[in-house]
Amino acid sequence: MKRLGVGLIFILLLSSTAYSFDRKGFTPTAPYSVLSTFSAETPMQNQIAIGLDYDLTTDPDRSRLNLNISYGLTESAEILLNLPYNLYYRNSSKMNGAEDLNIGLKHRIIDETTFTPAIAYLLFASGDLGKDEFSTEGGVGAGFIVTKKIGPFKAHGNIIYFRPEKEVFRETWNINLGAELSVSYNSKLLFEIIGRKAIDRSKIDLVEWRIGYRIRITEFSYTTVGFGFDVKNRNPDMRFMFGISAILPPYKGIHKKIVDEVD
């Protein structure tokens, strides 16, 4: 798996520098993710994870909010929903509006063991709610997720496919490789590399390194900050990411009270 991932990223780095609109697409809810990379982990049954993310990019300049909601169907399956909204695009406040609404299922079919990774799949669909400039007129997709703890790191790999309905668009796919490193009881360093085939041509339009930091600020809430750098053009465009998320109801362990009886 590791050799395959390295090989695919190498191919991406040698590909064309074509550019198309930077769609948010179907995304995970923190903390069950790195930054954009899905984890095979899910909320507990009947838990809800809610996240609000903001990202800002340069060249082209764009500001976007993204609402994410996940609901734990079982201990190994969740329903995910996300809706991105562009606040402005290419320095124009008139170029704003929603992208497509995405809804899907993530199901972990193999739990992690000492020697084997956790494996999950994704099935999702997009609905045509977005402004025409940002919409694919809906579509369907699927994905494959692998998660494995390796020493102090927890590594994740995704392959995600999407087929849009809009006739001018083509099938696209993402390859996401991410890792988390716990630096304290309630904080993690985050690392990613993202590769994406353009939706409007048979070229690669994004290869990006991302780094970040996530801290649990209460028993049930998290804050994430990250930066992305385009490595395809060797003259990086920058991406700034900020997100807050919460898990409700918060998980509380069972504490046993031990009382010494004194005669």
**Could you say which residues of the chain have pLDDT below 50?**
1-19, 254-263
pLDDT tens per residue, range 180-236? 999 998 999 999 999 999 888 888 888 999 999 999 999 999 999 999 998 876 555
Distances (CA, A) of 141 to 17, 153, 206: 25, 29, 19
Q: Which residue in 213, 210, 241 sits closest to 37, CA to CA?
A: 210
As assigned by CATH, the class of the 2-248 domain is mainly beta
pLDDT tens per residue, range 219-235? 999 999 999 998 876 55
Distances (CA, A) of 127 to 130, 166, 225, 233: 8, 12, 29, 33
Q: What is the pTM of this model?
A: 0.85
